[in-house]
Structure 1
Amino acid sequence: MVVGAILQASSYQLAQFIIGRIVTGLGNGLNTSTVPTWQSECSRSHRRGQLVMVEGALITGGIMIAYWLDFGFYFLDPNEISWRFPLAFQIVFCLFILAFVLSLPESPRWLVYKGREDEAMKVLGALSDEDPNSPAVKEEFYAIKDTVLEASKGSFRDLFTMDENRHFHRVVLAYVNQMFQQISGINLITYYIPNVIENEVGLTPFLSKLIAACNGTEYFLASWIAVFTVEKTGRRKLMLFGAVGMSICMICLAATDSQALKGNTGAGYAEVVFLFLFNTCFAIGWLGMTWLYPAEIVPLKIRAPANAVATSGNWIWNFMVVMITPVAFDTIKYQTYIIFAVINAFIVPCVYFFYPETAYRSLEEMDAIFVKTKSVFSVVSVARNEPRRYGKHGEVLISYDETDMAHRRRSSVGGAAVRRDKNEKGGDEQETRSYDSQSTAQMIESPSQQPVVIVGRGLVGLCLAQALKKADIPCTVYERDDALETDKGGGWAITIHWALQALQECLPANLFRQLADIQVDREQGIRDTGRFLFLDLATAQPKYEIPPSKRMRVNRRLLRLLLAEGIDIRYGKHLVSFNAAEGDHAATVTFGDGTSADSKLVIGCDGSNSKMRHLLFGEDSTKSRLYHLPVRALGVTIRMTEQQIVPLRQIDPLLFQGSHPETGTFLWYSTISTPSLNRSDGADEPYYEGQLIMSWLYRLPDDDVPADHEERRMLMRRMAAPFHDTLRTAVELVPKGTAVKEVRLADWPTQAWPNHEGKVGLCGDAAHAMTMFRGEAFNHGVTDAAKLARLLVWVRDEEMTMRDAIDEYEEELVSRTYEAVLLSRQACLDAHSLQDLGPDSPLVSKRARILAPATTVSGKEGASMPKG
């Protein structure tokens, strides 16, 4: 660009000037196709939009300077300096760039691509202000490395492929995005506004150039609006706002210009106003967007050539608009504006239906979204429903290792994950079968006769035990607590909806019939419609009604007592170690009291923070640990009189939830028991039991849960202050001295575990810990139990090996529950933003899944369990 500017400013012949323009154009083309890509690759997901939008603002800064230079030199007598100096002045900015460009870091993705991994780690650490060896930096590095391993196999021809990565689809979106910017008509204003004001409005040359310079200044100031709104508002909304605004402005320009040409001075002044407004709409919606968006949606494999192609589209259509505008105004006058009004109106549905939201998405996340896209019409909905890896403040919501894209990439690029283990551990990867060096495998002659060992007597563990007992498969449950009625979630109720069929399959008929007697409200259970309301807590009015489904709402404590009937439970058995010997030997579990148990099959049903899961994954705690969400919650069970509970039961007799539109505080209410269930109906003061849970986003240390119960109670009261009277009063009913429990919100997205040739499995929360916000945890757990019991029937009848059965069970469970955990996580986050909550959110969208008929296992019919 420096060479081109020198050639232009020193020209004495037209040929030299044209050559200078060509050289400058080549330099500017390289700049505009490279800088947005570099910015995107060097930015965090929650700041990328702002940083790239600054580029758009600086573009308008250059336009503003050019206008004022032009205006200043207008006063000189016509001579060479009046055009040579403005052309040469651009060298100042080029020299500024040259002075600092060598101090800028290379893109970490480019460094990984070139094999300079240590440098990439340092750059990632510097960009995120973290130590290069910190877990966050390592995780981002691995995500980039896996992507680069794919990209290394790419070629220019990949621009036009439509495999699962949908390269051509993405290139077209990027190209059309750049094209839309130019055919909006912006350069009709930028290039020709002095002529338009002078010839169409009828003002003097002096006023025309002065207004043009003022327009450029306003354009520059308006461009900063997008810098501060692009992340909060998102890309789609800004593009839609810009297109709608520009279309309206073009219509108004056509109307005012048609009158100005007839000598209407007022219409001419109005036309000037709409020229300013058009620039404002464009600056907010489309100025920087076309430098940001294409770099976000194309994959690393084709990012450089794809952005080059897209940028060429910008300049090609720029050239077209600039060339036809003078001819159009000479030929059809004000109707030129109508053409651009129609074009901008056409942009609106194109953006709405075809352009997915990219805000708060890493560049690697967009790859996952397009892989899941099946047509050009579905990408927007896929992006809307795909859980985000990063929050609005850059916090990690989903570890890269948890994503299905990570698993897909590693299987397609030759095992990046295995290489990672070798690099980190400094040696070859070794298969580990013993998880405790002090454990000793015991040799058993007839392991098939040993009972199945179930670790954990939670609801799912007991369901599995009942299912095995029903199928005449011996089992023993080992529980770390000392008694059945240890207070574990006693103040909860359980909603059984899409897993009712699975639960019926697990339980003997007499126990299943008794479920009706432990419903939180027996009478309501008979006439329950299955509706589930989500409220605006400020008004107590329903915001959404979750699609109803058949359900049964039961008391959790009573359900545990029911499921424990007839089951062999050993208490005080705290799991210490697990050992799986090779071959046809039993697995051994050892407990804290020194006892052990041997079995052909061990199933971990020991809850979300499963000890069995931790033992299976060994020293690599990152694979087994829970992921804590940036949300804090408090829960309390209270007794209420009929008079006190009536206002709540008028909203819904069983349960409801909601969020406050301003504070984002979430409230859950559910009835736990009625007087007939808790047997207070014959007392002097019969009572109902209700559960209240309040949660909020954790942003600052002050947002954490207080240690003292009374402080927790007062915190709940303060958070409920802006609620509707009915809801606020319910929170204020919590009496002083009540134990207010912290509800820890964490999950573990399902992944395959080492099952040691079919000797060990996980079930329920141990296999797929998830939050409560979709009410699916127990339903998935019951489904786990039913499916596992069916497979073990085949093993019992010697029609399937234990190894094949557990492999099949594990594969089905992972495929069914992985996405469910992430949807539950997204629902948890959505619950705290009523303004952003939409009908497609996993919090309120239809979520019932019907358990597949139990007629086939591994392609065989008749796999349903025997009744006795």
Structure 2
Amino acid sequence: MFSGNALPSAISDRHQRLAGPQGIRGIVANGQIFAIAVFASLGGLVYGYNQGMFGQILNMSSFAKTVHPESISNPTARGLLTAILELGAWVGALSNGYIADKLGRKLCVDVAVFVFVIGVIVQACATAPSYILGGRFITGLGVGSLSMVVPLYNAELAPAEIRGALVSLQQLSITAGIMISYWIGYGTNFIGGTGDGQSKAAWLIPICIQIAPALILGVGINFMPQSPRWLMSVGREEECLQTISRIRRVDTENELVALEFLEIKAQHIFDQETSQRLFPEYQNHTFKSDFMLGFHAYARLFTNRALFKRTLVSILIMMFQQWTGINAILYYAPFIFQDLGLTGNTVSLLASGVVGVVMFLATIPAVLYIDNLGRKPVLICGAIGMAICHFVIAGISASFDGSWDQHSAAGWVAVVFVWIFVVHFGYSWGPGAWVVIAEIFPLGVRAKGISIGASSNWLNNFAVGMATSDMLASMKYGTYVFFGLITSIGAAYIYFLVPETKGRTLEEMDELFNDTTGQGQKDLEQMDKIWHELGMFNDVLPNVSHIINSHEKGSIVLAEV
């Protein structure tokens, strides 16, 4: 047996030898996987569009007349209209771990799209605030599910050397959705004029148009490959092997395909044996037993020391992402820019549109370089940059609040620092947080672990959405000081407590998070036994076609090699 990380390095060395290029060259070399990930990331575009769109229509006079003006003018009521979607998304993301494991990643997307479309239809029929509240909650259920399953799907298809780039596509799509929504909202704002005569189409078009990308995703995902890791988890090993071969564009006898298949199989065997050891009473595969296994899998994320380390990282990294204040800006940008001295709805909406463009452009480098630079340096640099922007905006607001008409240049400087803040978020915490939570969990609890992280994102998103309107009204420049301090703490958390995951396979994450004593050592020894039984340390890997479905009753039958 081995101690610490000594033995797994043999597998790591083999993987490093077989790994392809990173960055742009890696994306080109894996063009098929990249195209699949781009399509799947339509889920992010839907999510981002919804984020940016609502802040735009809140500022439209025709929308205010439809849902009653006091619902918009009152900070608390406006906060609830905005944040209710995040509450629904929290529920959707939290419950989606079980659904993604039970139905598969692709069917899970279809369910999320169906729920999302129902919510949009309810909003489009709005005649009172209750329609918006109910519709946005239902829409949130779908958005939350998509926010969890898309990075999960992309992470499970991606080779380690470009996994960060492919998961980052989710955030790039989110920023694309935000950018598109801002400019659509800016354009439709003029339908019927910007005053009391404004047409209902000004806000109905931005709401209804989001159905189109959702339906394209729901139909198209059925033509995409299934996740090989999910196929392994449900016993469809031949399909798993063929899928790996197809997406890597080499035959099933290729050493890279064999190694990836054996790594996935080893993790699956480990999860099965652990489940049988811990919960022997739930191995009869009835609905009740499967539900209870799912429940205990969620519970293990908090009761198992090694898993709790990962769970804590996923919860906290998403908490810090939201309390950078990014969604305070996305949701309330028109109101913030008015507070910073920009006059007129049209000007503030135009300034908001620049936020969308800037964020989209800033996210592109993350897709190209996060696998080269690593997760930690990018997150730390971004947090420091955002904190500085918050403090500068706070200083300008404290100096000139109440006299913006006499200091318009100062107002525009503050606006520029809002744009710079968005740049720092775009290349760092926007994609980086999703990359980390998508790759740190083992196969058996990956979907559930990501759902915990995504639910943390949405719960904190809800809190930010509810609090920001009142914070801006009562704390004024203190709001930016608060966000700046939280962001600074986030930088320290990443530096001291989060391990670097760059270049690690999903199965190698155990090396980063497992203890070397107690249960962690026992788990490593158990995995060591499985690796040896599967022949993963042989000079020549076994013929994987001969060992499919061969792990029965704790034994593995290997072919002659």
Q: Which residue of 1 aligns with 2:234?
A: 114
How far the C-alpha of 1:112 sits from its partner, in A, is: 0.8
Q: Distance in 2 between matches of 1:374 and 1:89?
A: 55
Secondary structure of 2:155's partner? helix
In 2, distance between residues paired with 1:92 and 1:55? 18
List structure 1 segments (4+ residues) > 4 angstroms apart after TM superposition.
372-375, 404-407, 412-423
Name the SS of the counterpart of 2:504 in structure 1.
coil
1:519-541 CA distances to partner (integer Å, 9 max, x unpaired)? xxxxxxxxxxxxxxxxxxxxxxx
* Aligned mates of 1:161, 1:149 — CA distance in 2: 21
For residues 532-543 of structure 1, the aligned pairs below 5 Å read none
Q: Which residue of 1 aligns with 2:373?
A: 233
Aligned to 2:270: 150
CA contact (8 A) 1:146 1:410 kept: no
Alignment match, 1:368: 511
Is the 2:171–2:363 Cα contact (8 Å) retained in structure 1?
yes
How does 1:235-250 map onto structure 2 within 5 Å?
235-250=375-390
2:402 aligned with 1:259: no
Aligned-residue identity in percent: 32
- Structure 2 residue 170 is matched with structure 1 residue 52: no
State the aligned residue count: 402
Taking a change above 3 Å as real, the CA distance of residues 234 and 413 of structure 1, as seen in their structure-2 partners, is closer
> Is this contact kept in 1: 2:269–2:530, CA < 8 A?
no
Structure 1 unaligned regions, length at least 5 = 380-403, 430-617, 621-868
- Tell me which amino acid in the other structure corresponds to 2:527: R
CA distance in 2, matches of 1:43, 1:422: 20
The answer for the alignment partner of 1:43 in structure 2 is 158
Instruction: Name the CA distance, whole Å, in 1 between partners of 2:261 and 2:523.
Output: 15
1:409 is aligned to 2:531: no
- In 2: Cα distance, 1:193 partner to 1:422 partner: 55
* Counterpart for residue 174 of structure 1: 314
3-state SS of 1:358 partner: coil
Task: Give the corresponding residue for 2:94.
Answer: none
Q: One-letter code of the match for 2:366?
A: A
Q: Hey, what does 2:286 align to over in structure 1? A: none
Equivalences for residues 69-468 of structure 1 within 5 A? 69-77=184-192, 78-152=198-272, 153-154=274-275, 155-163=297-305, 166-261=306-401, 262-263=403-404, 264-372=407-515, 408-409=526-527, 411=529, 415-416=533-534, 424=546
Q: Is the 8 A contact 1:124 1:141 kept in 2?
A: yes
Contact 2:120-2:139 at 8 Å conserved across structures? yes
Following the alignment from structure 1 to structure 2, what is the Cα–Cα distance between the partners of residues 80 and 423?
A: 61
State the Cα distance separating 1:204 from its structure 2 match. Answer: 2.7
Within 2, Cα distance between the matches of 1:287 and 1:117? 35
Tell me, yes or no, if the aligned pair for 2:440 and 2:509 is still in contact at 8 Å. Answer: yes
Residue deviations 1:365-406 (CA, integer Å, cap 9, x gap): 11122124679xxx9xxxxxxxxxxxxxxxxxxxxxxxx998
Q: Equivalents in 2 of 1:422, 1:28: separation in Å?
A: 39
Q: Tell me if structure 1 keeps the 8 A contact 2:386–2:484.
A: yes
Call closer, same or farther: CA 1:82–1:422 in 2, change over 3 Å: closer
Superimposed CA distance per residue, residues 145-203 of structure 1 (whole angstroms, 9 cap, x where no aligned partner): 0101122344232112334xx01111010111111110010012111111111123243
Distance change (3 Å), C-alpha of 1:316 and 1:112? same
Alignment match, 1:485: none
Match in the other structure for 1:63: 178
Higher strand share: 1
Identify the residue that residue 17 of structure 1 maps to in structure 2: 132
CA distance in 2, matches of 1:198, 1:358: 41
Aligned to 1:793: none
The 8 Å contact of residues 341 and 411 in structure 2, kept in 1 or not, is answered as yes
Q: Please, what TM-score do these two structures have when normalized by structure 2?
A: 0.67
Which secondary structure state, in structure 2, belongs to the residue aligned with residue 359 of structure 1? Answer: coil
Shift of 1:417: 5.0
Aligned 8 A contact 2:253 2:543 in 1: no
Q: Distance in 1 between matches of 2:227 and 2:511?
A: 21
Distance in 2, matches of 1:118 and 1:129, equals 16
- Normalising by structure 1, report the TM-score: 0.44
Q: What SS does the corresponding residue of 2:210 show, helix, strand or coil?
A: helix
Q: Does 1:30 align with 2:152?
A: no
How has the CA–CA distance of structure 1 residues 208 and 141 changed in structure 2, closer, same or farther, with 3 Å as cutoff? same
Partner Cα separation in structure 1 for residue 531 and residue 413 of structure 2: 61
Equivalences for 1:587-602 in 2 at 5 Å? none
The aligned amino acid for 1:137 is V
Structure showing greater relative contact order (alpha-carbon pairs closer than 8 Å, 6 or more residues apart): 2
**What amino acid does structure 2 have at the position aligned with 1:229?**
Y
Tell me, yes or no, if the aligned pair for 2:117 and 2:139 is still in contact at 8 Å.
yes
Superposition map of 1:650-661 within 5 A: none
